Amino acid sequence: MVNSAEKFERAFGQYSLDDPNYKIELAKMGSVPTERGAPTHGDWVYVREFKQFLKHLYDLTNKVSGTKYVTSNTLFEEIADVNYLLGEWSDHVICGDDEIFKSMATKMKDKYDKYWGDPVKMNKYIFIASILDPRTKESHFFKDLLEDTYGSTKGNAILTVTHKEFVSLFGEYKKLYGSPSSELTSHSETSKNAPENSLMRERYNKRMRLNSGDGSANSRSELDKYLAEDVEEQSPNFDILSWWKCNSARFPVLSKLACDILAIPISTVASESAFSTSGRILDDFRSSLTPMTLQALICTQDWLRRKRINVEADLAELTKLEEQFGCLEVDDDEIISLD
> Residue 182: what residue type?
S
> Residue 132: what residue type?
L
> Residue 334: what residue type?
E
The predicted-structure confidence for 103-146, as pLDDT tens digits, reads as follows 777 888 888 888 888 888 899 999 999 999 999 999 999 999 99
Cα 324 to Cα 88, 244, 295, 316, 335: the distances in Å are 61, 38, 22, 13, 18
More confidently predicted of 308 and 193: 308
> Residue 96: what residue type?
G
Distance CA 48, CA 57 (A): 15
183: confidence class by pLDDT, cuts 50, 70, 90: very low
Residue 170 exposure: Cα atoms within 13 Å on the Cβ side? 28
Nearest CA-CA partner of 127 in 79, 76, 198, 164: 76
- As a whole-number percent, the residues of the chain with pLDDT over 90 amount to 27
Distance CA 169, CA 7 (A): 53
Q: Considering the entire predicted model, what is its pTM?
A: 0.66
User: Taking residues 46-61, what's their average pLDDT?
Assistant: 81
User: What b/e sequence results for 52-81 when a residue is b if at least 16 CB atoms lie within 10 Å of its CB, and e otherwise?
Assistant: ebeeeeeebeebbeeeeebbbbbbbbbbbb
Mark out the alpha helices in the chain (DSSP H runs): 2-6, 9-18, 20-28, 41-64, 75-94, 99-116, 125-131, 140-150, 152-177, 180-190, 199-212, 214-228, 240-246, 252-262, 269-281, 291-306, 315-326
Cα 5 to Cα 9, 91, 109, 130, 335: the distances in Å are 7, 26, 27, 39, 55
- Is a pLDDT exceeding 90 seen at residue 288? no
Instruction: Give Cβ neighbours of residue 77 (< 8 Å, ≥ 6 apart).
Output: 130, 145
The predicted-structure confidence for 143-181, as pLDDT tens digits, reads as follows 999 999 999 999 999 999 999 999 999 999 999 887 654
What is the SS3 assignment for 44-78?
A: HHHHHHHHHHHHHHHHHHHHHCCCCCCCHHHHHHH
The predicted-structure confidence for 192-230, as pLDDT tens digits, reads as follows 444 566 777 777 777 776 665 544 444 457 899 999 999
> Residue 211: what residue type?
N
Average pLDDT, the chain: 77
Cα 199 to Cα 141, 187, 203, 275: the distances in Å are 47, 20, 6, 67
Distance CA 288, CA 135 (A): 52
